[in-house]
Amino acid sequence: MFWSLLMTQSLLSDIDILLIDDDEDILESYRHLLNLAGMVARVTDSPEKALSLLTPEYEGAVVLDIYMPAMNGMEVLARIQQIDPRIPVIMITGHGDIPLL
């Protein structure tokens, strides 16, 4: 078990995850969990700041909240796809329904 944990952490250690959410508690929870898994987790509550960090050379993934006050997740997703459609994006929400989709 210890060996498989070490192998998993070494495989994940180079993965860069950018977390975008307006809820600071959610951001810190995800950052903590991803860091425990050996990943590099960067967090921001600002969609504009997150977009400024992304370039066509970005080799990580994005975890993105659907509902945010400044810019909703669907708008951010569209902008990410303009930067580079190959960037993997995982959409999350704490809401029970998703009328935006």
For 28-69, write each residue's pLDDT tens digit: 999 998 888 888 899 999 999 999 999 999 999 999 999 888
Rounded CA-CA distance 1/80 in Å is 38
Residue 73 within any structural domain of the chain: yes
Residues 64/20, Cβ–Cβ less than 8 Å? yes
pTM listed for this prediction = 0.81
Name the domain count of the chain. Answer: 1
Look up the domain containing 37 and give its range: 7-92
Residue 83 within any structural domain of the chain: yes
Residue 98 within any structural domain of the chain: no
Residue that the structure tokens 């997150």 belong to: 50
Residue 35 within any structural domain of the chain: yes
DSSP assigned state of 41: E
* Confidence check: pLDDT of 90 > 80: yes
Contacts of 61 (CB under 8 A, 6+ apart): 15, 16, 17, 18, 87, 88, 89, 90
Rounded CA-CA distance 49/94 in Å is 22
Residue 69 within any structural domain of the chain: yes
Q: What is the CATH number of the domain that holds 29?
A: 3.40.50.2300
Residue 79 within any structural domain of the chain: yes
